[in-house]
Amino acid sequence: MYLPRQSPLMWATHLSVLFLVCVWLFPTVGLFVSSFRTADQISTSGWWKSLFPSEQNVTLRTAAPDTQQLIDGVYVISGNFFAEEEEASISAWGVSSREVDAYSPGQTASLRTGGEIQVDFQGEYRMTNTEPFSSKRGQRVFATATTPPKFTFANYHKVLFDKNNLEGMGQAFFSTLTVSIPATIIPILIAAFAAYALAWMQFPGRALLVAVIVGLLVVPLQLALIPLLRMHLGIGIGKGYLGIWMAHTGFGMPLAIYLLRNYMAGLPKDIIENARVDGATDFQIFLRLILPLSFPALASFAIFQFLWTWNDLLVAKVFLIDATGSTTVMTAQIVELLGTRGGNWEILATSAFVSIAVPLIVFFALQKFLVRGLLAGSVK
């Protein structure tokens, strides 16, 4: 069987696409894996080592002194640093943070508060003293331990559902949904009516209006932020959800009208004329014919608008000024985490992946309509 040979240009195209996919996929997978790891694991090994045992420095604590027992005239506190199902091992340990590898497993160390402690490689410890242990907390032990792979949902619970979560990502997640969903639906509803009028209704100045809409596509939104904020404050809708909904609607309207108008103009003319002959009004034609046939274009714009509003930081900073943090969106909250608590890598990784998970779901759910909507009106 003869197989056609592909040209070098085709191979170069395939390799370039594969390279771009890998460049995008590797950090996304790394972020996803890191979101299920603990802070100690993230700080000691890369995500590509998450399926293998890792060696890390850990701080352990013995049981509290109220568990001590008097055995043969000696006060004893014993136990295991690790859970029964945790197959961890200790290679070195110490009782001072400056000498975390002063002792090997099985050796005995003297405590500054009196008494001795012995730790074996499996995490079993035994503290002894001729006098009662009087401290309020257990003894700290610094160890170099080899721990098995471990994944946890605790990061997601803390980010999304913990009421005492100081990071506030749960509230920011729902605030972002509150901003993005209406800011996606409102411009679609308005732009659909405008696109139908520009595509199928005859009125003076229609061509000029289309040209103005195309021109608005290249106007930077930064030019309109301050004047728009002043107008919103003047009419009383600034610094709130209504103000940012209207701002996103205005900024997304030119693209929505342009995209939908091109698609609607490419629909079969006979269908529209037959409906008018049968006595259908423009509203009936729009509602029963145009909207169902224009779903690919509607879905295409919905993807772009949702991604834009979900990942937006600039407009949210301008129109959602809230000292209490109740309307802070996820992009702004992640910036706060990076600036004030950059050491909580597990919280940052989880928050970042939650931030990109919803746009990914929306994109893959509607991606089959994306190309059809983008190519609308390009070929007659």
Can you spell out the DSSP letters for 239-289? SSHHHHHHHHHHHHHHHHHHHHHHHHHTS-HHHHHHHHHTT--HHHHIIII
84, 118, 148 - which closes a domain: 148
Give the separation between CA 321 and CA 232, rounded to whole angstroms.
13
pLDDT tens-digit map of 91-128: 899 988 888 888 999 899 988 888 899 999 888 999 99
153 lies in a domain? no
In this structure, are 234 and 88 located in the same domain? no
Average pLDDT estimate for 25-40: 84
pLDDT for 329 beyond 70: yes
pLDDT confidence of residue 340: 54
Taking alpha carbons only, the member of 201, 175, 117, 186 closest to residue 320 is 175
Looking at every residue in the chain, the average pLDDT score rounds to 82
Give tens-digit pLDDT for 128-162. 998 888 877 888 899 888 888 888 888 888 777 76
Domain CATH for 201? 1.10.3720.10
For the chain, helix, strand, coil in percent to 5 are 55, 15, 30
Domain for residue 379, yes or no? no
State the pLDDT at residue 27.
Answer: 85
Question: What are the tens digits of pLDDT across the range 239-288?
Answer: 788 888 988 998 888 888 988 888 888 888 888 888 888 888 888 888 88
Average pLDDT value for residue range 320-333? 71
Q: Tell me: do 198 and 118 sit in the same domain.
A: no
Angle, alpha carbons 86-92-95 (nearest 5°): 100
Q: Is residue 1 part of a domain?
A: no
User: Looking at the domain assignment, is residue 3 inside a domain?
Assistant: no
CA distance readout (Å), 174 to 9, 32, 303, 319, 341: 47, 21, 19, 17, 22
CA–CA gap between residue 321 and residue 294 (Å, rounded): 37
Where is the domain boundary, 33, 49, 65? 49
How far apart are alpha carbons 244 and 309 in whole angstroms? 10
Residues 194 and 312 in one domain: yes
- Mean pLDDT for 43-56 is 81
Which residue, of 96, 125, 148, is where some domain finishes? 148
Model confidence at 342: pLDDT above 60: no
Q: pTM above 0.85?
A: no
Domain span holding position 216: 159-374
Question: What pLDDT is attached to residue 185?
Answer: 92
Query: Stretch 317-345: mean pLDDT, rounded?
Result: 70
Domain count, the chain: 3
Q: What is the pLDDT of residue 371?
A: 63
> Does 93 share its domain with 18?
no
Note whether 80 and 187 are same-domain residues: no
Residues 2-20 have a mean pLDDT of 77
What pLDDT, on the 0 to 100 scale, is given for residue 209?
Answer: 87
